[in-house]
């Protein structure tokens, strides 16, 4: 029996009105950070961090795990925002230690327009950021589909 991995998604509060279209498209098509799964994951929670410095991180993860989440994704919006989330690695470290849950950076592929801008700004030049964007960096054709 091939069961889906249950996941939760935490988005940046700057995008709190986001309907999740890009994340849900990528989830269905197993693109971006969802390409790590053999079958499309089952979404069991979707919410914001509640704004800097992430006042909702602990509560949101607790609820998602109570709903069966095995993995929590820190949405691509935390990566592509201006500036990128300064707490993203802290959130990952906290969630993994507090809840013993796998945390993945990103959801949908990085749109080309954001890659262009962040390249000009040198936001992602460090080895740490190269690791963070790795799962959401795709080919240009896919990136353009998410513009």
CATH of the domain at 71: 3.40.50
pTM: 0.94
Read off the pLDDT of residues 22-70 as tens digits, 9 standing for 90 and up: 999 999 999 999 999 999 899 999 999 999 999 999 999 999 999 999 9
Nearest to 146 by CA among 92, 106, 100: 106
Residue 122: inside a domain? yes
What is the per-residue pLDDT for 76?
Answer: 97
DSSP state of 74: E
Convert 100-129 to b/e letters by CB count within 10 Å (16 or more is b).
Answer: ebbbbbbbbbbbbebbeebeeeebbeeeeb
Residue 56: inside a domain? yes
Residue 83: inside a domain? yes
DSSP state of 15: G
Domain span at residue 12 reads: 6-145
Residue 1: inside a domain? no
Total tally of structural domains belonging to the chain: 1
């Amino acid at each position: 029996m091939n069961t889906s991995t249950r996941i939760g998604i935490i988005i940046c509060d700057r995008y709190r009105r986001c309907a999740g279209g890009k994340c849900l498209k990528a989830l269905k098509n197993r693109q971006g950070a969802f390409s790590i799964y053999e079958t499309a994951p089952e979404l069991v929670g979707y919410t914001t961090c509640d704004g800097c410095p992430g006042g909702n991180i602990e509560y949101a993860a607790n609820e998602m795990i109570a709903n069966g989440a095995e993995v929590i994704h820190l949405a691509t919006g935390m990566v592509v925002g201006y500036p990128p989330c300064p707490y993203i690695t802290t959130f990952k470290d906290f969630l993994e230690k507090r809840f013993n849950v796998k945390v993945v950076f990103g959801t949908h592929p990085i749109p080309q327009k954001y890659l262009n801008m962040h390249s000009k700004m040198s936001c992602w030049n460090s080895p740490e950021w190269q690791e963070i964007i790795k799962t959401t960096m795709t080919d240009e054709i896919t990136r353009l589909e998410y513009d």
